Amino acid sequence: MQPNDDAGMPRDTGDWPGDAPWQPLPEAARRAFRWSGLLAWGTAGLLAGPLAAVAWALAQGPSLALFGAAAVPPLLAVGLALWQADWAWRYTRWRLDADGLRLRRGRWWRQERMVPRARVQHLDIERGLIERRFGLATLVVHTAGTAHGALRQAGFAEAEAMQLREALVPERREYDDDDPGT
Amino acid sequence: MTRAPEAASGSEARRALQAAATQRLHPLSWLFILLQQLRNFALPILLLLVSGRGEQNPAELAGLAGAGVLAVMAVWQYFTYRYGFVGRALVIRSGLLERNLRLIPFDRVQNISLHQNLLHRLFGVAEVRLESAGGGVGETEARMQVLRLAQAHALEALVRANPVRNGNDDEVTPEPPAVRWLHLPTRELVRLGLISNRGMLVVAAALGLLSQAGERVLGGASDAVVDAGRQGLALAEGWQPGPLAWTLGGIALLLVLLALVRLLSVLLAILQFHDFQLWAGQRELRVERGLFSRMRSHLPKRRIQAYSLRESLLHRWFGRQSLRVDRASIEIPGETSLRDLVPLAPPATMTAVLGHLLPAAAWPPGRWNGLHPRAWWRVFAPTAVGLLVLTAALIAWRGPEAGWLLLLLPVLALRAVLWARYSAWSLEQGVFTFRQGWLDRHWRFVETGKIHVVALRETPFDRHHGMASVQIDTQGASPLEPALFVPYLPVVEARALAEALRAALPHDPGINRARTVASAARAG
């Protein structure tokens, strides 16, 4: 069924980031991501603008083009922020299945993390200023692992984040290996 | 973390706990506390004395005053420290102005270890350290310095006699006597020193320290070295050596230096691992080692999180392997290190030890699954690009003779092919293993029940070749060991592996209830 490549290995025809049961973030998250991106990149762009103007003036002498030079970094920053926010929103999917949470992220560098509910240590819900404005929340899932101590995903609808938190609170503390096992 | 909750338990409970803490440490405790504190300051004080010698220095006086304050504090600490027992827990009370009451249930203790340096042995005392899970890096739950040796052993026995909680609490199975799995005689330690090259680390640390010490120390030392070198050169020129002799002399000097470093390694190995013994009880392992300062610590078998087996070229020449383990609590390197569970053993012994630690018939794995057929290319390509860029830069800078560097290309390709051919994974009997390397072989394995998070990753390069990697997260993984990361798998196999691991992870039966609640809420 799957086409094979020249090494005789089946090619990946899997869909990314995936349809149902994979769930996208709500539409409001896209706007929230844009705003927080604008805040971060925009600040950097506004700071870089005058620097670009000074550099232009030193190289070419003062002229009206100064204003053009000053405008370039903020415009770039805005473009970058919007583009990044859009991609972050479009290529994030989550799914709650029989064992726990799965989270997919990324367009070029893809990763899919699987956190079993039995391994969840505790959960946090965070709401920043922008997220509050859009009725969103960030879910932080803590595990005892070393590399992925905490899985953090912004942009869940508030009610969804609460439900996820309820669903992921472990019944039995299985991470605790005091139990010699049965 | 196990501090007695003040508001909740009320003042009576607190008073009862305080009353239970009746025993004192050994009367000489203050001496050891003081020495330990002084050791923390030893280096700064030494540097102060070395760099400030010759002139009347107020810093020296300050140092002396500081030592006096430390002595008073040590005595104070001794007089305010009491401990006792409440049920199956240890109560420790310390401080008078700033009071601290600690309740440590025995079943939360990850490791109890006894430390004895020369001075401890002279006075017949030992330092006892209790570790519980999840502490910060190297954080010890309780450090009791010092107890009479007999008392320390009694405390050790008491903590370890904790019955296994297997449903019915009253059932305490008598433990059969421990079996000695391994003993390292001195000739093994010589091998260990030669193989491990710990000396190099010490030399590097010493150089770093010297550069910190500033001009005065380093300047003097380097002057001496330069002088000696100049004299040696003058002597050599007197003999009128040819270029061959120069080369040979240089090589000989290098060899002598390397031999000295290896000798240092051997000495260090003997110092740390003298009379190393690994004992296995039914539930836990015991390790004893050390020449001057003896260490004896315990590790419940179920607390082992992941394994790391190494066989370098030197290991193979001597017919040996080394095994390290990850534990739940993160430790200060070199302090109470139980990481080196089997510092050195022949492969047969190692297989036997692992056979006891892992589920039945899990080691060695029988079926290995290889990487993607083009995995070697993925290893080779970045190094080749790096070499090409370097060569191009050198040719532009130095001329065409730098082109000889390209002869390294086949070597890199060979290395990549061999690495890819040898690397493989296995998932059998509830144990996941990834082996890699060719000259320097490395097996990293974990019981699937100890895995915390599984992640599937794909880079654009992976996708171009139809590959993916699987990353496994465990508890207490050392940053010094290779991660449990399996790269360059055929994408379909990577998916299947991730799902299989995921299915083998512990299940929480409550998920279905929660999910129905969640989906009902969404519908409503």
Residue B512: its pLDDT value, please? Answer: 46
Which 8-state DSSP code applies to residue B3? B
Regarding whether B336 and B450 lie in a shared domain, the answer is: no
Cβ partners under 8 Å of residue B378, min gap 6: B372, B461, B465, B467, B487, B488
- Interface membership of A105 toward B (CB under 8 Å): no
CATH number at residue B499: 2.30.29
Q: Are strands B451-458 and B441-447 parallel, antiparallel or unpaired?
A: unpaired
The verdict on residue B487 lying in a domain is yes
Q: A-chain residues within 8 Å CB-CB of B452? A: 119, 143-145, 148, 175
Alpha-carbon gap, residue A149 to B460, rounded angstroms: 26
- pLDDT of the residue at B136: 46
Q: Which chain A positions have a beta carbon within 8 Å of B491's beta carbon?
A: 9-12, 14
Q: Tell whether omega for the bond before B146 is within 30 degrees of 0, i.e. cis.
A: yes
Closest-approach residue (CA) in chain B for A112 = B456
> Are the C-beta atoms of residues A49 and A74 closer than 8 Å to each other?
yes
pLDDT at B60 over 70: no
The partner residue sitting opposite A163, judged by closest CB among B495, B508, B518, is B518
The reply to whether B263 falls in a domain is no
For chain B, give the mean pLDDT: 80
Please indicate, yes or no, if residue B217 is contained in any of the structural domains. no
Asked if A113 is an interface residue toward chain B (Cβ–Cβ < 8 A), one would say yes
The predicted structure's pLDDT at residue B50: 61
Query: Which of A22, A117, A151 is the best substitution to test chain B (most B C-beta atoms within 10 A)?
Result: A117
Put simply, whether A96 touches B (Cβ < 8 Å) is yes
- Tens of pLDDT, residues B144-163: 888 888 888 888 888 877 55
CA distance A150 to A126: 13
Cis peptide before B346 (omega within 30 of 0): no
Flag whether pLDDT at A168 surpasses 50: yes
Nearest-by-Cβ selection for B453 from A98, A115, A172: A115
Residue B206 lies in a domain: no
Closest among A22, A49, A51, A30 to A110, alpha carbons compared: A22
Higher pLDDT: B237 or A81? It is A81
Residues B410 and B312 in one domain: no
Return mean pLDDT, chain A.
Answer: 82
**Identity of the residue in A9, A114, A119 whose CB atom sits nearest the CB atom of B498:** A114
Residue B242 has pLDDT above 50, yes or no: yes
Q: How many domains does chain B have?
A: 3
Q: Give the pLDDT confidence score for residue B326 in this predicted structure.
A: 86
Residue B168 confidence (pLDDT) above 50:
no
DSSP secondary structure string, B51-68?
HTTTS--HHHHHHHHHHH
Chain-chain contact of B454 with A159 (C-beta, under 8 angstroms):
no
Q: How far does CA B59 lie from the centroid of its chain?
A: 37
Tens digits of per-residue pLDDT, B415-467? 999 999 999 999 988 899 999 988 889 999 999 888 888 999 999 999 889 89
3-state secondary structure of B425: strand
pLDDT of B345: 93
Question: Average pLDDT of B131-156?
Answer: 72
How many percent of chain B have pLDDT more than 90?
A: 25
pLDDT of B391 = 92
**pLDDT surpasses 50 at A172:** yes
Measured CA to CA, the distance from residue B491 to residue A13 in angstroms comes to 10
Cα separation, B408 vs A122, whole angstroms: 51
Looking at the structure, tell me whether residues B43 and B154 fall in a common domain: yes
Helix, strand, or coil (residue A18): coil
Reported as a single tens digit per residue, the pLDDT across B194-217 is: 888 777 777 777 777 666 655 555
The arithmetic mean of pLDDT across residues B28-45, rounded, is 76
Clarify whether residues B98 and B187 are in a common domain: no
The reported pLDDT for the residue numbered A91 is 92
Residues in B touching A152 (Cβ below 8 Å) = none
B67 lies in the same domain as B158: yes
Flag whether B236 is in a domain.
no
Closest CA to B363 of B392, B312, B321, B405: B321
- The stretch B82-107 carries a mean pLDDT of 80
What is the C-alpha separation between A12 and B466, in angstroms, rounded? 6
Domain region containing B302: 182-195+273-357
Q: Interface pTM (ipTM) of the complex? A: 0.82
Same domain, B72 and B125: yes
Per-residue pLDDT for B361 more than 80?
no
What's the gap in Å between the CA of B418 and the closest CA on chain A? 18
The structure tokens listed for A145 are: 């692992």
Chain B contacts of A8, Cβ < 8 Å?
373
Same domain flag for B158 and B108:
yes
Greatest Cα pair distance in chain A: 80
pLDDT at A156 over 90: yes
Nearest residue on chain B to A147, alpha-carbon basis? B473
Predicted structure pTM score: 0.76
Long-range pairs, B250-254, Cβ under 8 A, ≥24:
none
**Whether B17 and B122 share a structural domain:** yes
* Tokens matching residue B435: 């082996």
Q: Please report whether residue B146 resides in a domain.
A: yes
Q: Which residue of B has its CA nearest to A105?
A: B457
Q: Is B190 domain-assigned?
A: yes
Statement: residue B268 has pLDDT above 60: yes
Cβ of A94: how many Cβ atoms within 10 Å? 23
pLDDT digits (tens, 9 = 90+) for A52-104: 888 888 887 777 778 888 888 889 999 999 999 999 999 999 998 878 899 99
**Domain assignment of residue B516, yes or no:** no
Q: What is the pLDDT of residues A96-137, one digit of tens each?
A: 887 889 999 988 899 999 988 888 888 888 888 899 999 999
B430 and B305 part of one domain: no
The answer on B77 and B31 residing in a single domain is yes
User: Any idea which of A60-64, B43-47, B122-126, B385-389 has the lowest mean pLDDT?
Assistant: B43-47
Let me know whether B352 and B374 are in one domain.
Answer: no
Paired residues of B308 in beta bridges: B324, B444
Q: Which residues of A touch B507 (CB under 8 A)?
A: 99, 116, 118
**B174 vs B310, which has greater pLDDT?**
B310
CA dihedral B405, B410, B411, B414 (to 10 degrees): 160
Average pLDDT over residues B399-425: 90
Strand bridging mode B304-311 / B441-447: antiparallel
Q: Say how far apart CA A34 and CA A83 lie, in whole Å.
A: 8
Residue A179 has pLDDT above 70, yes or no: no
Judge whether A13 is closer than 8 Å to chain B, CB to CB.
Answer: no
Q: What is the rounded radius of gyration, in angstroms, for the C-alpha atoms of chain A? A: 22
User: According to the per-residue pLDDT averaged within each range, which of B64-78, B126-140, B409-423 is highest?
Assistant: B409-423
Residue B492 and residue B424 in one domain: yes
Distance from CA of A154 to the nearest CA of B (A): 19
Whose CA is closest to B511, among A168, A165, A151?
A: A168
Residue B468 has pLDDT above 80, yes or no: yes
- Shortest alpha-carbon distance between residue B497 and chain A (Å): 13
